[in-house]
Amino acid sequence: MSDLSSRKVLIVVHDWGIEETELTRPLGDLREAGVQVTLAAPTLNDVETLQHDRYPGAAVTPDALISDVAAADFDLLVVPGGTCNVDHLRINPSAIQLAKDFAQSGKTIAAICHGPWLLVNAGVLGGKTLTSCRYISADVENAGGVHEDREVVVDNASGWKLITSRKPDDLDAFVGAIKEAL
């Protein structure tokens, strides 16, 4: 694998309800690979993760506020899942604008599980093929995306790359596709 130390990744989350491994695996694995990773949230208080949307998980300290980061400063955006996480994130104006800016700039976005919900609300899924957790497949299709039930889907349509996966069991493929895109 090439040197990833010059690459910059932004992970955006709400302050509660993030699926633990869908945050901690990309965050840890990418940092271990030398990637400069910034975790952004609505506040600088520790974000609270959950395991399986139910059981308390690790608390993680964000590096920046969502409202203070810009797509221009990063190569790739990661949107972890967690039902409550993305349900709140998808109505956050700053998060919606970030997703739009990444897509309009031709930059890569990676989303897992409920993560594509943010992209539904950002209006950027038209013509894209992707996967997600099964619970939001109708939302993805209603937003103009083509939903497939696969471990990882990489789509280059519409001038930007989208990497998606369904669930925590797909994290090896998801993180691998992110590293490959970088």
Catalytic residues: 113
Q: Which amino acid is at 113?
A: C
Q: Is residue 85 a contact partner of residue 16, using CB atoms and an 8 Å limit?
A: yes
Distance CA 87, CA 117 (A): 7
